[in-house]
């Protein structure tokens, strides 16, 4: 009798031992497959982390005070110079604008009041640029800000204060990232395609879109120019979602500051 035949015969003569061997082999194969799948998952995660490794630097004009202006503006030429520095993988230019609701701005102008917290964009060199208006309504309630300002100034009386709302931040971006360099989390629709050319597409924060009853394909205006909602993004915060993004050249055109960041 051959060795193979004798082995098969022995295996079937002791069914308990056969079942135990089969169970051990099944467990071993299962563990091997589990380790293989886990190894692939870990490898994919490591690759994802490696792709995100790096230091993101934000460069602002010297002396700049955000929307209050100040400092000399950066230019696209300076951004190109920065991109040529060794070990710099990419440079993304941005420019930020402040938008006020057009109806609210008109009411405040008629009443002879200032925009308060919904003031205009800060311009270069400490100057104040023209206020941009929009058909959008801010998604964040200003609360009692107007009343607190009145009390702080020591004014009294029963004069009806105009409705105030917080401004909407509009940012022109040269790539599909936010102002901190983090990739935008687009939850619906698509991005803006080529971020280096002007377009009439825009990305709206989910909170801002919900407040105004807008969805992908809807339209709104900025300074009487019509824009179409290409996609919605979620920044993770209410204030972060009270914003919109357009391409960098589009924002530069709206601000009247070509080639400036």
What pLDDT, on a 0 to 100 scale, did the predictor assign at position 87?
A: 80
Question: What's phi and psi for 256, nearest 5 deg?
Answer: 70, 30
Tokens 């360099």, residue? 181
The chain-wide mean pLDDT, for the chain, equals 79
Q: How many helices (H) and strands (E) does the chain have?
A: 7, 8
Who has greater pLDDT, 223 or 159?
Answer: 223
In 3D space, the residue among 125, 120, 71 whose CA is nearest the CA of residue 254 turns out to be: 120
- Measured in residues, the chain has a length of 261
**Helix (H) / strand (E) containing 7:** helix 3-13
In 3D space, the residue among 203, 204, 196, 254 whose CA is nearest the CA of residue 225 turns out to be: 254
Angle between helices 3-13 and 15-52 in degrees, nearest 10: 100
Is residue 156's pLDDT more than 70? no
What pLDDT, on a 0 to 100 scale, did the predictor assign at position 127?
A: 40
d(CA 203, CA 170): 10
pLDDT in tens, 95-144: 888 999 888 888 877 776 555 443 433 444 434 444 699 999 999 877 65
Pairing of strands 219-222, 168-173: unpaired
Is residue 1's pLDDT more than 80? no
What pLDDT, on a 0 to 100 scale, did the predictor assign at position 47?
A: 76
Tokens 């009853």, residue? 213
Q: Quick one: tokens of 215?
A: 């969805």
Who has greater pLDDT, 153 or 208?
Answer: 208
Is residue 229's pLDDT more than 90? yes
d(CA 133, CA 116): 14
pLDDT in tens, 10-53: 656 667 777 777 888 888 898 888 898 888 888 888 777 766 66
Q: For residue 166, name the pLDDT band (cuts at 50, 70, 90).
A: confident
What pLDDT, on a 0 to 100 scale, did the predictor assign at position 68?
A: 57
Global pTM? 0.67
pLDDT, mean of residues 203-231: 95
- What proportion of the chain, given as a percentage, has pLDDT over 90? 30
Pairing of strands 94-101, 132-134: parallel
Who has greater pLDDT, 50 or 235?
Answer: 235
Half-sphere exposure of 56 (CA within 13 A, CB side): 11
Instruction: Give Cα separations from 71 to 62, 66, 82, 223, 252 (angstroms).
Output: 5, 10, 19, 26, 18
Q: Quick one: tokens of 220?
A: 């709104």
Cα 132 to its chain centre, rounded Å, is 21
What pLDDT, on a 0 to 100 scale, did the predictor assign at position 107?
A: 82
| Beta bridge pairs of residue 205 | 233
Torsion of CA 154, 156, 161, 164, to 10 degrees: 30
Q: Quick check: 209 and 183 in contact, CB under 8 A?
A: no
């Amino acid at each position: 009798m051959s060795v193979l035949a004798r082995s098969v015969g022995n295996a079937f003569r002791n069914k308990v031992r056969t079942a135990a061997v089969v169970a051990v082999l099944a467990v071993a194969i299962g563990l091997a497959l589990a380790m293989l799948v886990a190894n692939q998952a870990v490898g994919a995660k490591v690759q994802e982390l490696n792709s995100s490794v790096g230091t993101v630097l934000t460069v602002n004009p010297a002396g700049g005070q955000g929307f209050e202006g100040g400092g000399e503006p950066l230019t696209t030429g300076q951004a190109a110079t920065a991109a040529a520095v060794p070990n710099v993988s990419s440079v993304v230019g941005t420019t930020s604008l402040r938008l006020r609701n057009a109806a609210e701005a008109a009411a405040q102008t008629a009443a002879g009041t200032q925009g308060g917290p919904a003031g205009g964009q800060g311009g270069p060199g400490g100057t104040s640029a023209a206020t941009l208006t929009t058909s959008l309504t801010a998604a964040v309630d200003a609360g009692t800000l107007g009343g607190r300002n009145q009390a702080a100034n020591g004014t009294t009386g029963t004069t009806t204060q105009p409705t105030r709302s917080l401004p909407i931040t509009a940012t022109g971006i040269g790539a599909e990232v936010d102002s901190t360099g983090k990739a935008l989390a687009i939850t619906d629709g698509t991005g803006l395609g080529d971020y280096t050319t002007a377009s009439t597409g825009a990305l709206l924060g989910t909170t801002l879109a919900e407040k105004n009853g807008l969805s992908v394909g809807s339209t709104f205006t900025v300074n009487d120019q019509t824009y179409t909602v290409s996609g919605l993004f979620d920044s993770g915060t209410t204030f972060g979602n009270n914003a919109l993004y357009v391409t960098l050249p589009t924002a530069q055109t709206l601000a009247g500051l070509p080639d400036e960041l």
